[in-house]
């Protein structure tokens, strides 16, 4: 992935923490999305949050990108979810 995404994310998150801005997990996630959108062709409507998991009842995928440069991308801190099968048939 584009190294500029990570650099911008790092810089923005560092600034946020340095300024003692109240920060939650969601704040960190949205800071990453801002960087992702800035450095890719991804649009806000292409980011799906809390997407229903297709095989784990009641589970949700933290972040789902159905078409990121031709690939499905799952972003989730839970390894059981982030390493699961394709979701194209959902």
What DSSP string describes 22-75?
Answer: ---HHHHHHHHHHHHHHHSS--GGG-EEEEEPSSSTT-EEEEEEEEETTEEEEE
Number of Cβ within 10 Å of residue 53's Cβ equals 19
Query: What is this structure's pTM?
Result: 0.71
pLDDT tens profile 21-72: 999 988 998 999 999 999 998 999 999 988 998 888 888 888 889 888 888 8
Residue 11 has a pLDDT of 98
Residue 80 has a pLDDT of 65
């Amino acid at each position: 992935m584009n190294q500029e995404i990570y650099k911008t994310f790092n810089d923005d998150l560092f600034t946020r923490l340095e300024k003692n801005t109240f920060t939650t997990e969601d704040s960190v996630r949205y800071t990453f999305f801002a960087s992702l959108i800035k450095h890719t062709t991804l649009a806000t409507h292409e980011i799906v949050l809390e997407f229903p998991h297709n095989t784990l009842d009641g589970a949700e995928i933290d972040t789902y990108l159905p078409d990121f440069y031709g690939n499905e991308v799952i972003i989730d801190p839970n390894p059981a979810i982030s390493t699961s099968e394709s979701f194209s048939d959902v």
